[in-house]
A and B are shown apart, each in its own frame.
Chain A
Amino acid sequence: MKRSTLLGWVILAFGATYFILPLLATFEFSLRMLRGQYSFEAYSVVFGDAQFRATFLYSATLALVTIVLGALLVVPTAYLVRLRLPHLRGLVEFVTLLPLVVPAIVIVFGYLRLYNSSSWLPLTGSDAATNALLAFGYVTLALPYMYRTVDTGMRAIDVKTLTEAAESLGAGWPTIMLKVILPNVRSAVLAGAFLTFAIVIGEFTFASLLNRPAFGPYLQLMGANRAYEPSALAIIAFLVTWACMGLIQIFGRKRGAITVP
Chain B
Amino acid sequence: MSVVAQDVVVTRGRLSLGSLLSPAMLGILPFFVFALLFLILPTCILMVGAFQDQAGNFTLDNLAKLLDQPQLLASYWISIKVSLASAIGGALFGFLIAYAIVQGGLPPWVRPSVLTFSGVASNFAGVPLAFAFLATFGRVGLVTVLLRDWFGVNIYSHDIGFNLLSFTGLTLTYLYFQIPLMVLIIVPALEGLKREWREASQILGGTNFHYWRYVALPVLWPSILGATLLLFANSFGAVATAYALTGSSLNIVTIQLYAQIRGDVLHDPNLGFALAFGMILITCLSNGAYIWLRGRSERWLR
Q: Are A204 and B184 in contact (CB under 8 A)?
A: no
A237: B residues at CB distance < 8 A: 124, 127-128
Cβ of B211 under 8 Å from chain A: no
Say whether B136 contacts A99, CB under 8 Å. no
**B99 A11 Cβ-Cβ under 8 A:** yes
Say yes or no for A84: interface residue by CB 8 A criterion: yes
| CA–CA, A47 and B22, complex, Å | 54
> Which A residue sits closest to B33, measured CB to CB?
A73
CB distance from A255 to the nearest CB of B (A): 9
A15–B283 Cα gap in the complex (Å)?
Answer: 28
Given known contacts A114-B42, A223-B131, is B258 in contact with A105 (CB within 8 Å)? yes
The interface stretch among B58-66, B104-112, B153-161, B216-224 is B104-112
Q: Is A92 an interface residue (CB 8 A)?
A: yes
Known A220-B127, A238-B124: A12·B239 in contact at CB below 8 Å: no
Given contacts A15-B93, A209-B261, contact A248 B119 (CB under 8 A): yes
**CB contact under 8 A between A26 and B135, given known A112-B261, A258-B184:** yes
Interface assignment of B134: CB less than 8 Å from any CB of chain A? yes
Q: In the bound complex, do residue B39 and residue A76 qualify as a contact, i.e. CB atoms below 8 Å apart?
A: no
Asked whether B127 lies within 8 Å of A204 as measured between CB atoms, the reply is yes
Q: Measured between alpha carbons, how far is A77 from B25 in the docked complex, in Å? A: 10
Closest approach, in angstroms, between the C-beta of B203 and any C-beta of chain A?
19
- Docked-complex contact A140 and B24, CB < 8 angstroms: no
With both beta carbons as reference points, the residue of chain A lying nearest to B98 in the complex is identified as: A11
Q: Are A105 and B39 in contact (CB under 8 A)?
A: no
**B131 and A8 form a contact (CB under 8 A):** no
Considering residues A83, A97, A103, which has the most beta carbons from chain B within 10 angstroms of its beta carbon?
A103
Does A139 touch B at the CB level, under 8 Å? yes
Contact of B237 among A18, A26, A103 (CB under 8 A): A103
A132 to chain B, nearest CB (A): 11
How does the 8 Å CB contact mask read for B244-272 relative to A, with 1 for contact and 0 for none? 10010000001001100110000000001
The number of residues on chain B lying at the interface, defined by a beta carbon within 8 Å of a beta carbon of chain A, is: 89
For residue B35, which residues in chain A have a CB less than 8 angstroms away from its CB? Answer: 95, 98, 143
Q: Please measure, in the bound complex, the distance between the C-alpha atom of A195 and the C-alpha atom of B134, giving whole angstroms.
A: 26
A224 within 8 A of B: yes
A30 to chain B, nearest CB (A): 8
Name B233's contact: one of A101, A114, A241 (CB within 8 Å). Answer: A101
B280 with A260: CB separation less than 8 A? no
Whether the Cβ atoms of A100 and B176 lie closer than 8 Å is no
Q: Mark A64-100, 1 if CB is under 8 A from B, else 0.
A: 0000000001101100110111011000100101111
Which residue of B103, B121, B123, B244 contacts A204 across the interface (Cβ within 8 Å)? Answer: B244
Task: Report chain B residues within 8 Å CB of A242.
Answer: 120
Q: A237 CA to B13 CA in the complex, in Å?
A: 47
A52 close to B (CB within 8 Å)? no
Of chain B, the residue at the smallest CB distance from A198 is: B123
Q: Which residues of A contact B258 (CB under 8 A)?
A: 105, 205, 209
Cα(A77)–Cα(B273), bound, Å: 32
Q: Decide if B276 is an interface residue (CB 8 Å cutoff).
A: yes
Interchain CB contact under 8 A, A140 and B142: no
In-complex Cβ contact of A104 among B32, B97, B184, B239 (8 A): B239
A197 to chain B, nearest CB (A): 10
The verdict on B205 contacting chain A, using a C-beta distance below 8 Å, is no
Candidates B13, B106, B236; contact of A5 at CB < 8 Å? B106
User: Which residue of chain A is the closest to B99 with respect to CB atoms?
Assistant: A11
CB distance from B95 to the nearest CB of A (A): 10
Instruction: Indicate whether A4 sits within 8 Å of B104 (C-beta atoms), given known contacts A22-B135, A73-B30.
Output: yes
Which of A136, A234, A245 is in CB contact (< 8 Å) with B34? A136
- Shortest Cβ gap from B247 to chain A (Å): 7
Residue in A closest to B272 when the chains form the complex, CB atoms = A109
CA distance A106 to B99 in the complex (A): 36
Which one, A5, A112, A223, A230, contacts B105 given CB within 8 A? A5
Q: Are B141 and A216 in contact (CB under 8 A)?
A: no
Contacts of B28 in A (CB 8 A): 76-77, 80-81, 85, 88, 92
| A-B contact list, 13 entries, CB within 8 Å | A8-B103, A18-B175, A77-B30, A85-B24, A92-B28, A106-B276, A106-B280, A107-B39, A205-B239, A219-B126, A219-B131, A223-B130, A245-B123
Additional 11 contacts, C-beta under 8 A, given A7-B100, A103-B280, A209-B261: A15-B179, A18-B176, A21-B142, A76-B27, A105-B239, A107-B38, A110-B276, A113-B42, A113-B273, A204-B244, A234-B132
A contact residues vs B (CB 8 Å cutoff): 2, 4-5, 7-9, 11-12, 15, 18-19, 21-26, 28-30, 73-74, 76-77, 80-81, 83-85, 87-88, 92, 95, 97-114, 136-137, 139-140, 143, 173, 195, 198-199, 202-205, 209, 216, 219-220, 223-224, 230-231, 233-234, 237-238, 241-242, 244-246, 248-249, 256, 258-260
